[in-house]
Structure 1
């Protein structure tokens, strides 16, 4: 067993030999992976890589179904209500749907802690705080001084209630900036705005913004991961930049309706971990800017619970509430 496969097995809490056979209790109909974000978005990219890797272990096939809207809440609500709970309809969920949404929506059409059963954590993505190239600041400290002198600073986001939105709020609150969030429905629109200087800051995934930083069209002032990114090795971490509270990331994983039988969950978990143990799949995800997680049901469930607690505190501090 190679080192990556061993880590994936340990993360699931068992050795690969103890996992159920790949096709045991596997749904007989095609598995539908529902994504709450549009094609080309970060969740869509990593979700499609996983879907392709899963097809070998799912005899009936895997279909990706994009259901964007309300920071992923529409898709999550659909899976929470789907029946029968037989493993044929899964949510490829992420942090905003499964950890942030309970604190941002007064009436959410699902309860992440009650309506879903964890299958496996798949991947994570770190962010970079970027500013237009003509901004007169090359580090965060200088940017803060510059932004404080402005009557208002606009922060672009990829949607209300998403990690980039709350990252901007954390920065603004921690640094004492007067900012207004500008929420864009499409990733391309947000990138156009930051490249054109229509907004003065934005948290974007490292993979998305790195080409623009390397080309000199944007400046990156920090990355939010636990260590520097190999895509932007010269950019300091949040802790190195003096803002440890900005250490956050997006995470992605599979959940099923809560009533899904345990044997089906076990088999789906095994199929995901086998897919993520493939060097080819791991390389594709890393090349796309994601860190492979490969954590099984129990550890993924515990992580989601901890993240809901963490982000509830952040959301309360910002005072944000999504429109009904």
Structure 2
């Protein structure tokens, strides 16, 4: 008969083997969660859902869940993602504001982008359109709008949150036309567009994806694109540079980051799988149809982009004197 001690050792040993097998099981072997710091229907959400679908297909229909955690310009989501277990099963679709602008614009940031996250892959970039409501503003060009603003009590520009690219884009635009910006912060781009439709603000910087349907329907007028070249989604809209404002070239990007200390082999697999997903003919077409430019970088290149943009946006933030608690 097996003694109690031998039985206990056998059970303990079996448990150790079970744990070892679980730890060496191929990644991923259960659903992966992608945290998004903005509401459903916004640019980051659209990118995350398109990416989740392609990753799930590539992983044998393994579930990939998009978890929206909106608020505070994406800081709530970033804080949660930074505290997640570094096992590859909780990721974040980060954007420029959360990872490159926040360090300069917040005095007390609840996470450190450089220390709390590992870059995995930049997925897409997105240019902005300067939009106005034709029922409120009679302007067809940037110079028309600049002239119109001279007759107003202030340049009230909607933003989709303090510390976001649209926020500091408003400051840069105001400086370029010799005005002082009065940013009006909304919870999301959709809310900011609502303020524009309601006549509460004069203009807004919105992503190409959200701008195109409203512009094509004649509801809003796009005066300029912030990109280095015209957007294929709205090819008739000239860039700021074309209209004599070479300093107004900026965009936003969205990319996957993982909590610090995520194993390098998992980061490498994620990066390779994301690049494959977004560069596939179907994945690329869907992203472009939604108004985004696919990049699909490797982890090292994404890290360099985040670092370089932290410097670039840091200078823009410093020029405004903006600081949030």
Say whether the fold is shared (TM-score over 0.5).
yes
Please identify, of 32-41 and 273-282, the stretch whose mean Cα deviation from structure 2 is larger.
273-282
Deviation readout 1:129-152 (Å, 9 max, x if unpaired): 011104232111121122123221
SS of 1:272's equivalent? helix
TM-aligned CA deviation for residue 191 of structure 1: 1.5
Where do residues 142-181 of structure 1 align in structure 2 (5 Å cutoff)? 142-181=144-183
2:21 maps to none
Q: How many residue pairs align between the two structures?
A: 300
1:236 maps to 238
Question: Which consecutive unaligned segments of at least 5 residues does structure 1 have?
Answer: 1-22
Query: 1 or 2 for the larger relative contact order (CA 8 Å, sep ≥6)?
Result: 1
2:50 maps to 49
2:79 maps to 77
In structure 2, which of residues 140, 143, 157 is the aligned counterpart of residue 141 of structure 1? 143
2:38 maps to 37
TM-aligned CA deviation for residue 153 of structure 1: 2.0
- Contact preservation (8 Å) 1:93, 1:252: yes
Question: What is the rounded CA distance, in whole Å, between the counterparts of 2:174 and 2:25 in structure 1?
Answer: 50
1:201 maps to 203
1:63 maps to 65
- Contact preservation (8 Å) 2:155, 2:174: no
Question: What is the rounded CA distance, in whole Å, between the counterparts of 2:25 and 2:101 in structure 1?
Answer: 34
Question: Which consecutive unaligned segments of at least 5 residues does structure 2 have?
Answer: 1-23
Please identify, of 23-32 and 142-151, the stretch whose mean Cα deviation from structure 2 is larger.
23-32
- Contact preservation (8 Å) 1:25, 1:264: no
| CA root-mean-square deviation | 1.6
Whether 2:263 is the aligned partner of 1:277: answer no
Question: What is the rounded CA distance, in whole Å, between the counterparts of 1:115 and 1:92 in structure 2?
Answer: 14
Q: Which has the larger radius of gyration?
A: 2
1:26 maps to 27
- Contact preservation (8 Å) 2:142, 2:243: yes
Runs of 4+ in 1 over 3 A off after TM superposition: none
Question: What is the rounded CA distance, in whole Å, between the counterparts of 2:236 and 2:277 in structure 1?
Answer: 33
- Contact preservation (8 Å) 1:36, 1:67: yes
TM-aligned CA deviation for residue 24 of structure 1: 8.6
SS of 1:55's equivalent? helix
2:16 maps to none
TM-aligned CA deviation for residue 196 of structure 1: 2.9
Question: What is the rounded CA distance, in whole Å, between the counterparts of 2:59 and 2:160 in structure 1?
Answer: 33
- Contact preservation (8 Å) 1:151, 1:178: no
SS of 2:94's equivalent? strand
Question: What is the rounded CA distance, in whole Å, between the counterparts of 1:304 and 1:25 in structure 2?
Answer: 30
Whether 2:258 is the aligned partner of 1:265: answer no
Whether 2:109 is the aligned partner of 1:97: answer no
Question: What is the rounded CA distance, in whole Å, between the counterparts of 1:320 and 1:303 in structure 2?
Answer: 23
TM-aligned CA deviation for residue 187 of structure 1: 3.2
1:126 maps to 127
